[in-house]
Amino acid sequence: MKSLENRRFITLLDKLKDLFIEWCKSSTSHGIPNIARAENKIIALVWCLAFTISTGFCGFYILQTIIEVSKNPTMINYEIIEETPAVFPAISICNLNPFKTTNSNVYNTLLNVLLENNFKYTIHPNLASISASSLVKSYVFNLPDEVKKTFSYQYSELVYSCKFNGFLCSSQDFEWFYSFDYGNCYKFNPNGTKMVGKSGSQGGLRLEMYVGNSSDSEAYTIKTGLRFLIHNHTDFRSISNYGQDASAGFSTEVKINRNIHSKLGAPFSNCLEDVTSATKSKSDLMILMFDLLNLTIYTREMCLNVCYQIPLEESCNCSDASIPQIQANLSRCVSSTQIKCQEQFFQNFYSVSNSYCQDQCPKGIL
């Protein structure tokens, strides 16, 4: 009985072996048919070795591909698109002289502020004069908007003529804002609705502006001219840090190209597509910016300013007037003692490497 069962088992194995050999001979896989048809064992061994090596390499590269894909790699797609008409950028413009000292009320007010803090009205290029300049700027900056507007040049005094795309433009095309360093400033195309269909000076914005006499600005600035910044209308970067100067008495022509950079969000990068949500993905400073200060747009510059403002308020018991206030119960740095404390803190803070602020404020793409 056992002998019969063994014969049946051997017969089954032979059939399976024959089927496997037949499958190998008819297989389209590279190497397998050659192994099955080889009559010489050495040739069969060579084919087995070649098949094993090629299969190993194939498996290795497949595994590498799976690992790379799991890392969510990104690709850079670069396109050059010619737009007609094209979106015109926003342009912010300020007078380098923050105060209109030809106005007797402005002159007397600033003089009294300086005298009350034991400063002379004449400002010289030394440490005390820097404090004096910061003193009057902080004083005016903390006044109500309608009041501080009167300390600087109005639109009608600053802009002599304005043309966009060859047509006249007016004050309705500009938005007023106040700069700590430059006083009254005006932003053209604040909503990004202007379009331009022609390149060159005839197709853009042309301005003729009056910046006052050089003698009017000697007390508060060493230069006479304009400060301007060309930017996206959603970009709120500081004109003090990123703007350019244009000298008085000259015609200045500026030509630009627009580059748009965008990145995919997680898991392809550490970019946050919606910075106002996803609290777990944001740093402590970003949470502070959006939850406490109610900001709606993230800029790294503002984040770094907030990182500077927090220890400043603790050190000087006042806040920098040019940066959003963190502790609402504190006053702005407006007295001579506070200004000197602020300037000393500024020098100490930025004279050393501060990795905390750099880590807390990720780079943004605008």
Answer whether 285's CB lies under 8 Å from 319's CB. no
Domain chopping of the chain, boundaries = 2-70, 86-247, 279-360
Contacts of 349 (CB under 8 A, 6+ apart): 308, 311, 312
Q: What is the DSSP letter of 149?
A: G
Beta bridge partners of 206: 163
Tokens linked to 187: 């932003």
Answer whether 24's CB lies under 8 Å from 35's CB. yes
Answer whether 96's CB lies under 8 Å from 225's CB. yes
CATH (residue range 279-360): 1.10.287
Query: Which of left, alpha, beta for 298 (phi over 0: left; psi -120 to 50: alpha)?
Result: beta
Question: Coil, strand or helix: which one is 207?
Answer: strand
Backbone angles phi, psi at 343, to 5 degrees: -70, -35
Residue 41 to residue 102: CA distance in whole angstroms = 107
**In 86-210, which residue ranges form alpha helices assigned H by DSSP?**
104-116, 127-141, 145-148, 155-158
In order of 89, 105, 157, 241, 284, the CA distances from 190 in angstroms are 9, 31, 21, 19, 31
Beta bridge partners of 175: 187
Q: Which CATH class is domain 86-247?
A: mainly beta
Q: What does the pLDDT profile of the chain (366 residues) look like in tens digits?
A: 545 455 555 566 666 666 666 666 666 666 666 666 666 777 777 777 877 888 888 888 888 888 877 776 666 777 777 777 888 999 999 999 898 888 888 888 888 888 887 775 455 555 445 577 888 888 998 899 999 999 999 999 999 999 998 889 999 999 999 999 899 999 999 998 898 877 777 778 999 998 887 665 556 677 888 999 998 887 777 888 889 999 888 888 888 877 777 777 766 776 766 666 655 556 777 777 777 777 777 778 888 888 889 999 999 999 988 888 888 888 888 888 888 898 889 888 887 767 788 887 877 654
The residue written with tokens 């413009």 in the block is: 93
